[in-house]
Chain A
Amino acid sequence: MASETRSDDFVVFDHVQKSYDGVSLVVKDLNLNIGKGEFLTMLGPSGSGKTTCLMMLAGFETATHGEIRLDGRNINLVPPHKRGIGMVFQNYALFPHMTVGENLSFPLEVRGMGKDERETKIKRALDMVQMGAFANRRPAQLSGGQQQRIALARALVFDPALVLMDEPLGALDKQLREHMQFEIKHLHESLGITVVYVTHDQGEALTMSDRVAVFNDGRIQQLAPPADLYERPDNSFVAQFIGENNKLTGAVEELSGDKALVRLSTGELIDATPVNVTAKGQQTLVSIRPERVEFKPEMMPPGAHMIDATVLEIIYMGDILRARLRVAGHDDFVMKMRNTIGQTKLSPGQQIKIGWHPADARALDPM
């Protein structure tokens, strides 16, 4: 057992690698510590290795190299049914030939629990997800949202300390999904369980998690709380993957402490915060969030650079207005404006000047 395991490291991935075919690695050197009671989300595009990591933790896949520890114990060779990990599956995997009550009873029966104790626990778990009246129904008689709740109750009924969720809300419609996000979050808080949640929906990851691990190409690209992830992406992939994002490419003109001046390929100068650049003359990709772009000079910090832009299109989206601009030769620069009473009306073809706070523009690796 590794001596450096910290007490709050409930789940540890230690140099874990996974290959299916012996030719390529699906998971390349994964190191991840998850604290007890934490809600950690693995976020990434399909094929990024996040589900494989979850399956290794659940015991359905074995790590090709490295060690996975649960509560200080190496579980590489522990079969799934002895890990005591609750799991919620993508399509719920409720046993169709059993009633809801029997589904919940199953994990308790295989643990040899007595009938009275089982009934108490089942009732408690069903009440927890507000499905107390449904114990005698079959899964097929329930709606998607109800099935989701039952799957959740089944994963929690045997009081596991760790619950894994594999895109559990993927099959629900938007409204129900958002509602369930809150419920899962609430359950997590009230029960104090550790949750590892896999999703490809960044909105879900941001709203629910304590920390998010962004996966791509078998590696964790960034592991950070949601706000950091969104506002301070470490690299271009994270900036692209999380939220909407404007990209401008150029070379570093000046570099001083936490400020950089970037000359775009078309000649304009813009402000940025250096993240992945270390020297003058380096190629960089500057990332700016659309809602942080300003076109009113009075809103700009003094001395900030502004550049020319042409309004190409205004899209009305209700709460916000989206303006597509031509900036530095790119036609896909997006600016978001709040739809308020006093908002300046822009029209296509209009020439404006735009700028941003230097902290909002991040000079990242050129991809």
Chain B
Amino acid sequence: MTDTTAPLTTADGRPLKAALAAAQSRARRKAFFLVAPLLLFVVVTFIIPIGQMLQRSVYHDGFSKEALNLAAWFDANPEGTAPDEAAFAALAADLRQMKDNKSAGEAGTRINYTVPGTRSLFTSSARGADKLEPPFKEALLAQDKKWGDPLIWSAMRAASSPWTSDFYLIATDRARTADGGIEQVPEKERIYIWLFAKTFVLSALITGICLLLAFPIAHLLATLPMARANLLMILVLLPFWTSLLVRTTSWIVLLQGQGVVNNILVSLGLVSDDGRITMIYNQTGTIIVMTHILLPFMVLPLYSVMRTIKPSYARAARSLGATSWTTFRRIYLPQTLPGIGAGALLVFILAVGYYITPALVGGADGQLISNLIQFHMSKSNWSLAAALSGMLLLGVLLLYWLYDRLVGIDKLKLG
């Protein structure tokens, strides 16, 4: 070995690294052009919309673009300053502006998100804004004494900038106090955290049931001769190929009060005619139907992993003196872990974001977080919907990260 390690060069003296990069750049360019259409498609249809949606969760200019005078006053006076005459003057000016722009409703809606019941305050005050005379404080309080509520001033201060954390506060069941602090809402009004928890618990339950059901099926599929395994595989996949809506509604037919299952139970005398079991339009219905719909997502990864486990491992373990239970626990099960991990992750992520099935069969107590997101979308509170979605996305990414740390994404086998 020489003690000076000069960089290697090609025969004509060019550095080897540069020569290699030049030789490969053509191939790399070609590869990029081949990938470009998909890349563009993904950016336009996936990354941009998701980015925009997530931006909505922290950006809302409904109030801030109409209340410029108030924004100036909030800037000049620190948090906790009681609104003085100048503040009310700014408010009056802004209300006049809103009347001219016919935007009092929009601005009121933004404040209404954080302090419910305030939209009408803005619309009615804006209507009478032209008649306001100084001193504005007395005039406005005379019009509606709610204007003296420090909560509204705190909410307006928070909304005077388009960038806001208000929607994440709402999504985590918290609210601003009058002095600008943050507190949890009263227990009765806490719905989001609870619903998140319920969604995650139900998804975990569905994932668990899917695993219990899919494990034996996948094992059977993996050990049967090819021809029969294929036949069975069709039975697993057939529901997969049927429309989601059809599958969900056929469960309604089966499980409803006058449905097939109840009729059979009644005719067998297991259940009295007035004691028909409620299996649909509640949490039970959501669990049953979602388990059925998500089952193939558990079977397929498990099957693909189990097929690669040679029967000789089990035989070797048996010949070495292990009972069949020990063989399963210590030899077979550990080798199926990548499949269990992939299947569980897939089913859980799908379940957490499931919308249509709980919407159709969930009734009142079988609703998941996605149904609430949809509710806010339909009520045009897109920012709150976006904040809830953002939290859901964060939760799923967290799970994905955890899986990567514990099992390793490279071990993920989906088929």
Q: Known contacts being A95-B331, A96-B335, A106-B330, is A81 close to B316, with CB within 8 Å? A: no
Distance in Å from the Cβ of A220 to the closest Cβ of chain B? 24
The reply on A20 being an interface residue by CB < 8 A is: no
Interface segment among A28-36, A41-49, A82-90, A291-299: the answer is A82-90
17 contacts between A and B (CB under 8 A): A60-B318, A80-B319, A81-B321, A81-B323, A82-B321, A83-B319, A86-B319, A87-B315, A87-B316, A89-B315, A89-B316, A91-B312, A93-B312, A93-B315, A110-B320, A110-B321, A154-B316
Q: How far is the CA of A204 from the CA of B326 in the complex (A)?
A: 35
Residues of A within 8 A of B (CB): 58-60, 79-87, 89-91, 93-97, 106-107, 110-111, 154-155, 158, 164
The digit string for B67-85, where 1 denotes a CB below 8 A from any CB of A, is 0000000000000000000
Distance in Å from the Cβ of A339 to the closest Cβ of chain B? 44
The contact of A85 among B310, B312, B319, B322, by CB within 8 Å, is B319
B294-335, CB < 8 A from A:
310, 312-313, 315-324, 326, 330-331, 334-335
Distance in Å from the Cβ of A77 to the closest Cβ of chain B? 15
Residues of B within 8 A of A (CB): 310, 312-313, 315-324, 326, 330-331, 334-335
List A contacts of B310 (CB < 8 A): 91, 93
Q: How far is the CA of A196 from the CA of B318 in the complex (A)?
A: 18
Q: How far is the CA of A89 from the CA of B314 in the complex (A)?
A: 11
Q: How far is the CA of A107 from the CA of B316 in the complex (A)?
A: 10
The contact of A158 among B320, B330, B335, by CB within 8 Å, is B320
Q: How far is the CA of A94 from the CA of B315 in the complex (A)?
A: 11
Q: Can you name the residue of chain A whose Cβ is closest to the Cβ of B312?
A: A93
Q: How far is the CA of A110 from the CA of B324 in the complex (A)?
A: 11
Distance in Å from the Cβ of B327 to the closest Cβ of chain A? 8
Q: Known contacts being A91-B310, A96-B335, A106-B330, is A158 close to B316, with CB within 8 Å? A: no
Q: How far is the CA of A81 from the CA of B318 in the complex (A)?
A: 5
Q: Can you name the residue of chain A whose Cβ is closest to the Cβ of B314?
A: A93
Q: A79, A85, A87, A158 — which one has the most chain B CB atoms within 10 A of its CB?
A: A87
List A contacts of B323 (CB < 8 A): 81, 110
Q: Can you name the residue of chain B whose Cβ is closest to the Cβ of A104?
A: B320
Q: Known contacts being A89-B312, A93-B313, A110-B326, is A81 close to B319, with CB within 8 Å? A: yes
Q: How far is the CA of A80 from the CA of B317 in the complex (A)?
A: 10
Distance in Å from the Cβ of A83 to the closest Cβ of chain B? 8
Instruction: Say whether B316 contacts A93, CB under 8 Å.
Output: yes
Instruction: Say whether A106 contacts B320, CB under 8 Å.
Output: yes
Q: How far is the CA of A111 from the CA of B321 in the complex (A)?
A: 7
Instruction: Say whether A97 contacts B312, CB under 8 Å.
Output: no
Q: Can you name the residue of chain A whose Cβ is closest to the Cβ of B334?
A: A97
Q: Can you name the residue of chain B whose Cβ is closest to the Cβ of A94?
A: B316
List A contacts of B316 (CB < 8 A): 87, 89, 93-95, 154
